[in-house]
Structure formats: C-alpha cells, structure tokens
Amino acid sequence: MEGKTLHTCMELKKIAELYLSELLDRGIRLHQHIITVEQEFYNSTSSGHSDPFHQKPDFLTGFEKCVEKVIEGAVTLLKSLQQDLDEDQIAMLISIASHGFTNLKELHEKGLESVPRPAVPIELRRFTRIIAEHVFKEPDLRIALYVKESVSESAYASDPLGEFREKSLKSFVEYFDSIPYLESIEHLTNNADSTIDITIPRIDSRNPATWPTLFHEAAHSLLTNEILNNQTFSHQFAADLNANLIKEIERLNINLESWTTEVWCDYFAAYVIGPSFFFSQYYAFLAIPNRDPELNKSHPPSFLRLKLISSFLEHRYPLVKEAKIANLIQKRIRVLEIVEKRNSGSVEIDRALRIFSGEMRMISREMFFSGSDPKAKQFRERFKEMTDYTGQIEMQSLDLIFNELKLGLPTPSIRIDDDYTHERPTSVQEVLLAACLVRDQSLIHDTIETVVSNNDPTSIFLSKSLARYERLDAAILRSLQLSEWLFMFKQKPSEDFLSGLPTPETVRTVCSSALTDREIYTLLKSGEIRITPLIDVKEQLGSCSLDIRLGTSFEVFIPATRRPSGFHCIYGDSYESKRIDLDFLENISLLPGEFMLAHSFEYLKLPDWIAGDLDGRSTYARLGLEIHMTAGMIDPGFEGTTTLELFNAGPNAIRLFPGVRIGQMRFRTVTPPQFPYSKKRNAKYGDQLQHHQSMYQSDREYEVIYKEMRKRETKGG
C-alpha cells in the first residue's frame, strides 16, 4: 500500500509540474503581448532606450507588474515542487495554480480593454487563407478573424454586422429606396458571401501553436442541416438509444444539443488538421479553469472532450500511436482529469458520461469513417485529399521538422532524401504538429529547467524566456509563410543536371576567387552550404553564383524631423520607420531615390571555410536597383537571412514582389578563421529570420562616446 501511495505521489508531482509549467507559459505569453504593445505604441527608437516622446502610460506598467506577479508565483510553486511533499500538499499547489489561471483570465479580459490593440499579425491572415486554399480546398472561402479580449475562441452564426444590417439599417434602406432619383442601396443588407466569422483571444493571436482551435470554431459555421440530414444532433443522438439509456443521460441535466455540437466540432477539427488540434484544444481548456462544482450545461467536461478527441485521432491517424505522441497525449488528459474531475464523483454521473461518450463515438464513425449514408460519403469525399495526406505523415518527416524548429530554424521544406537539393514543401498539418511537440518537449522543458536550476530575478528569467518564445514563434510563422510560396514555385525534384561533380573534400582544397557551378552544387547537395528553402536549384544556379530571392518584410523609413533635447541626445538619432509585411502575391513600390531595408527569402548557413559575396542581378540593375550599400561581404560561418539595403537610383518606381530572384551570391573558400561570424563576441546580425535595423549604437566606439557625453551632461558643461 505504501508503494502505491508513493507511486501516486510521484505521478501527482509530475502532473503538478506540467500544470504549473502551463501557468508559467500562459503568463509569459501575456507578458509577451504587453511587450508587443509597448514596442508598437510606446517605444519607436531603434536604440532600445526610452524615447521621451513615446513614454508608456502608468497603467501599462501596472498591468505588466500584475502579470509578472503571477509569473513569480508560478516560479515559486515550481521551485517548491522540488521538496518532499505529500499528496495533500501537491494538491494544494495545483489548486493555487488554478487560481493563477483565473487571475490571468481576468487580467486578459478586463485589463486589456484599456490597452491599445496591436495590428493583427499578417501571418494570422496568411494562416486563414492557407486553411481555405490548402485545407478546405475552397479559394473563395473567406475566414474573417476578430481579435478580442475574451480568452475563449468563438464563432458567429453569421456576419457580426448581419443583425445590424438586417434590422437597424432596414428602415433607413426602405426610406432611401423610396426616393426615386437615388440609386438603390439594398446591397447594404445583403449577406450572401461565403464567410466564416470567428474570434481569437489577443494572447493567442501571435501564438501559432494555438491556431488549430480555429478549426473547431470554423466547424460551427460550417455545420448545416444538410450535414445533419435536417435533424438536430440531439435527435440523431437519441435515435440510437433505448429508453433506459436516455433516462441515464437525462440525469445529467445538460443541454444535449450543445454538448453533441461541441464534440462534433472537435471531431471535425481533428479530422481536417490532425493531431495538432488535440494540443491546441488542451491549451484552450487550461486557459479557462472550471470552478463550477456542477456539470457545465452547455459544454462537456474538458477531460472528456480530450479523451474523445484522442480516441478519434487514434482511429484515424496511425501517427498518434507512436510513443512520442501517445505519451504526451495521455499525460495531458491526466492533467485535466486531476484538475477538473471534481464534478463527476458519483457513479450515476460517471455511467451517464460513458453512455454519452460511446454514442458520440458511434456518430463519429458514421460521419467521418465508414457511414453508408450518401451525405456522409459526400462529406468525407470533400475532405479526402487533405485527411489522406495527414494520415500519411511519417514520424521521420516529423522528426526532421521538429529538429529544425527546435533550433529556431524555419522549415518551409524538408529534404526528400540525403540530398539537400531535393526538397518538398511542408504542410500546415506537419508544421503545426511539430510546433506543438517542440513546445511541449523543448520550450516548456527548458523553461522548467531554468526555474529549477537558477535563482535569477523575474526580469532576467523573463528576458531569457521571451527570447526563446519569440525565436520559436518566428520559425513556425516563417515555415507556414514560405511554404505557401513553395507550393507555387516548387517543381518536381530533378535529377542531377551537372556532371563530373567533385566531392566536398575536393572543394575544400580549391583556391579560386569564386566557386563554379559544379562546386556550389556539390556543397548544396551535401548540406555544407545550407539554403532554406532552395526552391529551384536548376533555375537559381549560375556558372559561378546562386540567385537569391526577395523576402516578405520591408523597413520603410519616415523622415524624422522631431528630436529629443538635452540628456536624451546622447542615445543618438531616433529613426522613425514602419515594418511592412507583405501577404501572398502583394508587392511594394520603391520610389526613385527611396531607401528601405529588406531580407532574403532564404535562410543561409555557411561553414567556417566558405565566405560569400552578395550582389544584384543585371535584370534589376538595369532598372536602377541597388540591393546592398557597400555591405556585400558575408563572413565565414554566417547564419541567418541576408539583410538587403534596397535603393532606387533609377528614374521610375520599381515594383517588387516577394519570391523574385533579386540578387546573386558568389562563394569562395578561405582558411577557417579563429573566430567565424557565428562565434564572434560582437556579432550583431547573426541568426536573424528577417532584416534588422542598424545597430551602430552598440559599437564600442559609440559606447565610449556616449559614456563621455553622459559624464559631461551630468556636470553641466
């Protein structure tokens, strides 16, 4: 008996650690959102110092401190778990953590109402389009997203303005149309476009690991009587049960139609996006702790829904049975069972929940797997291509994406074999599942390790954590973003089109001003030079160069006429600029005499014995375009996207599209330096996924100058 108690205590401690790490994750996410608000509205300087013209308000500072207190509490609880605790003490920690989730929920829903709302990230807009085009296979379908303070996602039955247009505007339209010489405005009250209207919490708008939950909300809008054969879910549910079983269900005193609808929408989301939905729904359930001792009338218990989702995925996708994924799923179900299963203590309720679960499984098999009804077959055929693909995801491919994302590298494509020039675009399903695995197995694990092994103050801990979070998010977003272009550009892998290729070892011994096509191709194939993604090597490879493409983000500078005075001058000029992220097939015009920063489409990784030289292509040079301003050298060991300094020296505007081959890169062998770029202490621009503004103020010369200026300013002369 003592051994069983010890085992239970150890299990409970693991559950508590996982639950507390999720509280910490949620707090860091909310803090990350506050930092985004501060950067967009109250800190316009590139130097990182406070700008007196953009001071953040006291309220935002107070809000930030509140979130930090919750984070500090989660850190303290995690540290206390390292002590020898009994079951009651661990249960108490879990209960306190539940209050922490409630605090974060209230801070989000009440505090953020008074905080400016940053622009919706364009990556989220891209994601909704990817859903429509590559998941639903309906390019004309529009998914309208509304970022809100509520922490739960929701779906509108119709356009949120529909009721206003139909009712409030109706009388105005009737009066207007009664005037004979005015053109009719009846179209104001029409709402016939194919749009799915859903909301997402502000805290999750920049967190791609939570985005699969949007499929559940989309299902609410897609749910029609046609799918249900003109019956309600509750009617279909009860049709297969005898009178005694129906009485068992009635004892739950729930809204059966709402319960069955919620579970069906879970099934639909799991069907179309795959296993990543389980993890995103788990995060969503944690964000809204259930403190009601009674069963929720409109929603089934969260742990029950996770069990049903898990069972559905196991039946549909073999990948879920792999130990790496199966263990994560079972642990998370167990977390919610322990945290929330305080309302199903009676035998009667447990029996009724089992009956409900069994019947929902029967309905899922009829609709999603083997039902013979013509409408069920038509439904499955509509999503067949997408679900078949998800079912074919292999663990090997997932591991490749996992390993790259873990390093903070974008993975819009993965190699088909050991040849790095043979790649295929990654899918939404693959990237999001790999992202969930990286989050759970690496990001949160590292966060726990940081808490347990260090005694850093909250500010230092947050700084380290935010850097990890931002890097992973950026890698995931870049993967989703670039893979869309790859679907358009990518051709079938071609056989080697060059003959007489040297070995990588032979290339090392080459002493030439520039490597030739065979030598570059050899290094690309072997992965010595990594280009991610390499879209079409046959098209991009020149006789002694490799074309690079234009990325998706641009820094447009605004003439800064306002300058701080006095002491603030020591921090240098405040360069006003605006970052513009282009969506798929959008373009930007570079006007005559205009300068802007951009970046390469590709992520470059050079060995320490290869240096690069960047230059423009003749095609664009003839338009007057310069792509670098004296900074064309790429050091050995460099890793990251290449920043482009675009300048229009011509007489006309130049229209630029992301993905076009904007420049060319030459490579040459060098003797490996003692400190390649990746190991230089003062390297400022390595590992970047997009361009970065000038960081000249971090040069040692400026540090010395500013120190002396501060000294003189303080003395008054």
| pLDDT tens digits for range 507-527 | 887 776 689 999 999 999 998
Q: What is the DSSP letter of 194?
A: -
Three-state secondary structure of 236-297 = HHHHCCCHHHHHHHHCCCCCHHHHHHHHHHHHHHHHHHCCHHHHHHHHHHHHCCCCCCCCCC
Residue type, 430: E
Q: Grade residue 2 by pLDDT with cuts at 50, 70 and 90.
A: very low
Distance from C-alpha of 572 to C-alpha of 606, rounded to nearest angstrom:
34
Q: What local confidence, expressed as pLDDT, does residue 705 receive?
A: 74
Q: What local confidence, expressed as pLDDT, does residue 44 receive?
A: 46
- DSSP β-bridge partners for residue 415: 423
Q: What local confidence, expressed as pLDDT, does residue 672 receive?
A: 82
460 phi and psi, to 5 degrees? Answer: -70, -45
Q: What local confidence, expressed as pLDDT, does residue 657 receive?
A: 92
User: Which of 300, 303, 304, 305 is closest to 254 using CA atoms?
Assistant: 300
Summarised one tens digit per residue, pLDDT across range 623-668 is: 999 998 877 788 888 888 899 999 999 999 999 999 999 999 999 8
C-beta of residue 173 within 8 angstroms of C-beta of residue 228: no
Is the pLDDT at 543 greater than 70, yes or no? yes
- DSSP β-bridge partners for residue 120: none
Q: What local confidence, expressed as pLDDT, does residue 341 receive?
A: 65
Q: Which helix (H) or strand (E) holds 373?
A: none
Q: Grade residue 160 by pLDDT with cuts at 50, 70 and 90.
A: low
Catalytic residue numbers read 645
Q: What local confidence, expressed as pLDDT, does residue 170 receive?
A: 63
- DSSP β-bridge partners for residue 287: none
Summarised one tens digit per residue, pLDDT across range 227-282 is: 655 566 777 777 777 777 888 888 788 888 888 889 999 999 999 889 999 999 99
User: Which of 683, 521, 676, 690 is closest to 600 using CA atoms?
Assistant: 690
Q: What is the average per-residue pLDDT within 306-324?
A: 91
Could you give the C-alpha distances from 679 to 443, 607, 671, 675, 686, in angstroms and in order?
24, 12, 16, 6, 10
Contact partners, residue 233, CB within 8 Å, separation at least 6: 256, 257, 260, 261, 264, 363
Q: Which residue has the tokens 């005075």?
A: 565
Q: What local confidence, expressed as pLDDT, does residue 716 receive?
A: 58
Could you give the C-alpha distances from 51 to 38, 75, 679, in angstroms and in order?
12, 32, 32
Q: Which residue has the tokens 């590139």?
A: 46
Q: Grade residue 680 by pLDDT with cuts at 50, 70 and 90.
A: low
